[in-house]
Structure 1
Amino acid sequence: MAGQATATPSAGGSDTSPTALARDLLVACKRGDSTASLRATLAALDDSALRPLREDRRTALAFWLNCYNAGTQLLLGERPELYDSPLGFVRFFWAPAITVAGTSLSLDRIENGLLRGGRSKYGLGYLPKLLVSTFEQRYRLSGCDPRVHFALNCGAESCPAIRAYEPEQIDRQLDLATRSYLEATVAYDADENLVRVPRVCLWFRGDFGGASGIRAFLREYDAIPADSTPKIRYLSWDWTKATGKFVE
């Protein structure tokens, strides 16, 4: 399927655009191919090469989503002890995962400093991120598209499956990822006027616009009836490690 992780890497490595490199790195992770050359090329990019990320939101979304998901797979493959550690919630998400233009980035910095526009992972999505680097200020997206929460895979069983995202298809792909995940997880009970939703909707409640925003989001994706206003409960999250959870 176009845009998924079955995409073919650039022939002979001829396409060294940031988005192609991030996509090809993710595909190499899926296939178990060597990633050394792609990682080195991403690390060697300069500010001018990253200009498309500053100029086009779709390009930035695709690039950072692919970087995050590739970074997760690289950490799980090369440093699995971080995830398994009693302090895994800190050590895994703060460990260097991928280097872009000479800047070492953790999963936390990619998700919260860049994709979420500099929002803290604490405070249910309502608070700004306090420690923001110059790199994050330069390349972060403005605002937060809540659909990214159904595209990011941190290695847990409850995480969504991984796709390789393309700038030209990013809206369609994010809609597909969101709808697929909500269909698999959301449970609506008309008799109890209750809906159970993924826990990321609680952790990042502010990204969705609070309870009313969550309901509007669910209606948009047909997860609850258009005329319903159910009570919201949050499902538990299964942190069991699940490596290589790619869309086929």
Structure 2
Amino acid sequence: MKIRNTFYALATVLIMVSCGTSAPTSKSAPIEHTIWDKLLKEHVNGNGLVDYKGFKKDQAQLKQYLNLISSNAPGSKWSKEEKLAYWINAYNAYTVQLILDHYPLKSIKDIGSSIKIPFVNTPWDVKFIEIGGKKMDLNNIEHGIIRKDFNEPRIHFAVVCAAMSCPPLRNEAYTADKLDKQLDDQGRAFLNNPRLNEVTKDKASVSKIMDWYGGDFKKKMPIKDWINKYAKTNLQTNNISYKDYNWALNEQK
């Protein structure tokens, strides 16, 4: 167990180093996320599953929002909450766009087999994003900016990589004024989803996310404490195991 945890910790550090990028900046004022908010309300259900066919029909609006993101990188005068809300929304919106670019498909990982770019093997390494004049990929946003710059483990309840084992995609945009509450809501929705996590007073079988990113979580408190912070059932032991990850597309059926 100790060897495995050390391996994951080392792998996490290597990912952050390899994805390291300085966050692009601009002199723009904080942007409104109303277009993205409207799209989420229309095409994401209460379980956090996505109507990609519906999103496809509204792709022009999605691209309008991504153009807004692309041309308005966070400025130095933005608050921490404004910046973090921006980057979470950007990650989730660009992930939806990536799925739509290859739709229909059964899993985001299927995109990897179709990539014909030298040294690019996964969809998270495709530099299809441009923000503030910088070419970026999803790994740059998640590992090189969000995880590196914000020290906020709750982002793992909010960034969604389009898989069934991901946290539910929130059907509203993240905003600075509500961000703390939204992240706590996501923690509760995630830990109390029986498809993703099972918690009794005697044991817990939880998402692999809490194993992969255990180092992030443990900077704040032990995994058991995270479980008890959000789960309705109080775990009274240290009997914690991790579920296999389901990479099937997080699509409404």
TM-score (norm 1): 0.69
User: What CA RMSD, in Å, does the superposition of the two structures yield over aligned residues?
Assistant: 3.0
* 8 Å contact kept, 1:97–1:106: yes
In the alignment, does 2:124 pair up with 1:93?
A: yes
| Structure 1 segment 27-106 matched on structure 2, within 5 A | 27-28=38-39, 30=43, 32-34=58-60, 35-45=62-72, 50-53=75-78, 56-80=79-103, 83-85=109-111, 87=113, 90-106=121-137
> How far, CA to CA, are the matches of 1:162 and 1:197 in structure 2?
18
Percent of matched pairs sharing the same residue: 25
Structure 1 residues 134-213: aligned runs within 5 Å: 140-141=149-150, 143=151, 145-163=152-170, 164-184=173-193, 185-190=196-201, 193-209=202-218, 213=222
- Range with greater deviation from structure 2 (82-91 or 228-237): 82-91
Q: CA deviation at 1:188?
A: 2.4
CA shift, 1:40, in A, is 3.2
In the alignment, what sits opposite 1:241?
Answer: 249
CA gap of 1:109–1:244, structure 2 versus 1, over 3 A, is farther
Q: CA deviation at 1:205?
A: 0.9
User: Match of 2:222, SS?
Assistant: helix
1:26/1:70 contact within 8 Å kept = no
Unmatched 5+ residue regions in structure 1?
Answer: 1-15, 118-139
TM-score by length of 2: 0.68
- Count, aligned residues: 198
CA distance in 1, matches of 2:166, 2:204: 19
* CA drift at 1:28: 4.5
Shift of 1:57: 1.6
Asked if structure 1 preserves the Cα contact closer than 8 Å seen for 2:31 and 2:72, the reply is no
Structure 2 unaligned blocks of 5 or more: 1-27, 44-54
How far has the Cα of 1:26 moved from its partner? 6.1
Provide the residue aligned with 2:7 in structure 1. Answer: none
